[in-house]
Amino acid sequence: MQYGPREIVTPFRPIPLDVPEGMAPNEFFNSTENLNDLVNNNGLLVNPENLLMYRKALGHSTTFDTSIIYNTSKTILNPLGRPVRRTQVPENVKNVWNRMNQILIEYMLETFPDPDQHLILAGEASLDATWPLTSPGVPSIRMLHNHFMVFEKAQLEAAKLADLDNPNLTDGGQHSLFQSYMHDVYREFFASLELEVLTLADDGESQIKLTGYPQGLPSWKIQGGLRQLKSIHFWREYDVILKGFIDFYRTFFTQVSSRNAPMPANVHFPDQVEDKLLYNNDFMAAAKKVREQCIHDPKYANAIRWQPAFKQLVYRNDAGDLIVTISQNSIGNAITELLGVVVKRAPDAEAYERHEPALIEKLLEVRRRLIAADLGEGIETDYWGRE
């Protein structure tokens, strides 16, 4: 068998939405009207914290695929002012968010128990406007949301190998900015963070053998597995990873922007930033290299994402362990591609409808568990009832 990233084709039912004349698609998809469609046609569950669980209309997988979005579309009308990462979410909302994540991951592990048969992942990505608004990869909905999905490994094995030069696969490997210039600095900085539940994993533990991904990223094994997801200690450390990433990213691009700039304000780990980054010659040399390229190459400079842009996920490795990893986010880079899975969506209502009953059955079952845990109320649509 050949090993490498795979490209699968996933059918979807075309969405009956008309973009108003004069609006760009990404402008419309940020509107409250689009979120109304998300609720009314695909909504599964909602709670007073404005967390909305929904069926993915343009899905990644027909085996299991759902998302939870922090739907602030009616409370914060400015799309650029909405929370787009866990660190910006009110504590009471985050507590509910964590419990919903735990129940969904537990359901996926219970329903798909064999790591040889299914790839399971749950993750989130920053969705703020950290790159030019005219770029085709600008997120359609600038609100924090998590993805929960399962892929059949037999489908991945049968799929064609993805093009290694696909821009969506360059985020976590040798082409990545961090990995190209600062691989050791990046890992040493993360190793300096104080963690107990999460322990650094080597590439052999973290990689999915079939795809060979993730590539070169710091990864952590969750000591205790699923049991730890029911503890606040895990979720606090999950946030430590994100805060560390934000500190690294902000510090690096502050130096890219302005030579010998002071430490960014309000960093989470000032001692580590000073010791591991600002006094590291490799780190500063990499900033110099990127700064000079920005000065001489306008196209390169225009593609830089000056604010923290990330993907963070929990997934099951080949041995059945739960792994956490985090990566910078490149334009158009979907969260599945962090694990070497490129999804090509194809409009095919008939093919989608063959998978739909089994998919909805699973979504409604996990919804029942969330309702039982007092994490929301069901939403009625044309496809399913409220209970």
Q: What is this structure's pTM? A: 0.92
- Would you mind telling me the total number of residues written for the chain in this entry? 387
Q: What is the mean pLDDT of residues 371-376?
A: 98
Residue 213 gets which letter from DSSP? B
Question: Per-residue pLDDT tens for 285-315?
Answer: 999 999 999 999 988 887 777 888 788 999 9
Long-range contacts of 174-179 (CB under 8 A, 24+ apart): 174/215, 174/216, 176/216, 176/327, 176/328, 176/330, 177/290, 177/328, 178/252, 178/328, 179/215, 179/216, 179/217
Q: Which is more confident, 329 or 341?
A: 341
Q: Which is more confident, 85 or 175?
A: 85
pLDDT of 164 strictly over 90:
no
Question: What is residue 248's predicted lDDT score, i.e. its pLDDT?
Answer: 95
Question: Per-residue pLDDT tens for 51-79?
Answer: 999 999 889 999 999 999 998 888 888 77
pLDDT of 173 strictly over 60:
no
pLDDT of 146 strictly over 70:
yes
- Find the range with the poorest average confidence among 190-194, 278-282, 328-332, 380-384: 328-332
Domain positions in the chain: 6-378
Q: Which is more confident, 193 or 126?
A: 193
Are 112 and 120 contacting, i.e. CB atoms less than 8 angstroms apart?
yes
When the pLDDT of each residue in the chain is averaged and rounded to a whole number, the result is 88
Question: What is residue 174's predicted lDDT score, i.e. its pLDDT?
Answer: 39
